[in-house]
Structure 1
Amino acid sequence: MRFEQPKTYSISLTGWGFWLGSLAVAALLTGLGLGWLMVGLVALLLFLLSLPLLVLLAFRWWARRWITTDRCPVCGSEAQALEGSHFFCPSCGEPLFVADGYFYRQTPPGTIDVESGEESSWELLS
């Protein structure tokens, strides 16, 4: 016994056929009083197309708010770090932390940080 495959028909809408078919469906829905449905579909399509741009803008806003760029207080090299984080200077290896948009040294408790100035020369009087 031989089974026959059912006949199937398909419509291939590629290129101009897709756009003409979409225009025909839009005209049909508008004619039936369902224009609001087309407006909603177009709005959804525009939102989905603009979503990558919105995500990029949100990430840039976040990065400007939480990433700090400053100079190392020890060697003066410029670096970037997240606000409130502890890290090592990529140039000199000094342990630093970020607070209020600036880099600060992490010194052990009880350490007095002294900056040296220009040394003056003393002459012996004889």
Structure 2
Amino acid sequence: MRLNSSLQFTLGNIARWLAIFAVIWLLGAVGLGWLVNSFLILFGLLLLAPVIAFVGFRWWLARNLIQDKCPVCRYEFTGLNKTQLQCPSCGEPLKVEQGHFHRLTPPGTIEVQAVEVKSQQVED
């Protein structure tokens, strides 16, 4: 009758188990605290990095996203601070500075605003 056992104690199996035990004993003698701590720190950073990135992006977006009206057509839209863009309504090139949209004009151009004056009839 033949015994069919999954654990056979041969010289090769015993040597393999002794080698594994020796490596574990050697690592235990050296100290594995630093290895476990580094894995826990790495795991914690992997969990916290997306949260910190999301909060940082929201903070940056709140500081740099500007909502204002176009100085030409008064169309209200959103742009990023310190960038150049075009008004989606009239196509005027604009520059975002100090939280407001400004027309992008060549140097030396004087901005003039027209004022409507009501006419009056003067009797002689």
Determine the structure 2 residue equivalent to 1:3.
Answer: none
Q: Which runs of 5+ in 2 are unaligned?
A: 1-23
Matched, 1:55 2:53: yes
Q: Which structure has the greater CA radius of gyration?
A: 2
- Give TM-score, length-normalised by structure 2: 0.60
TM-superposed CA distance for 1:55, in Å, is 1.7
SS at match of 2:95: strand
| Deviation per residue, 1:14-51 (Å, 9 max, x gap) | xxxxxxxxxxxxxx9xxx56445434322321211222
Counterpart-to-counterpart distance in 2, 1:79 and 1:71 = 6
Give the AA of the match of 2:90: C
The CA RMSD measured in Å over matched residues stands at 2.7
Determine the structure 2 residue equivalent to 1:25.
Answer: none
TM-superposed CA distance for 1:85, in Å, is 1.9
Counterpart-to-counterpart distance in 2, 1:112 and 1:36 = 68
Give the AA of the match of 1:43: I
Determine the structure 1 residue equivalent to 2:88.
Answer: 90
Percent identical: 44
Say if 1:123 and 1:48 are closer, same or farther in 2 by CA, change over 3 A. Answer: same
How does 1:93-112 map onto structure 2 within 5 Å?
93-112=91-110
Counterpart-to-counterpart distance in 2, 1:51 and 1:109 = 45
Determine the structure 2 residue equivalent to 1:41.
Answer: 39
| Deviation per residue, 1:51-101 (Å, 9 max, x gap) | 211222222233233333322112222222233222111111111111122
Determine the structure 2 residue equivalent to 1:72.
Answer: 70
Counterpart-to-counterpart distance in 2, 1:61 and 1:36 = 35
Say if 1:38 and 1:103 are closer, same or farther in 2 by CA, change over 3 A. Answer: same
Counterpart-to-counterpart distance in 2, 1:72 and 1:35 = 62
Determine the structure 2 residue equivalent to 1:21.
Answer: none
Q: Which runs of 5+ in 1 are unaligned?
A: 1-27
Counterpart-to-counterpart distance in 2, 1:50 and 1:57 = 11
Give the AA of the match of 1:116: A
Counterpart-to-counterpart distance in 1, 2:96 and 2:40 = 46
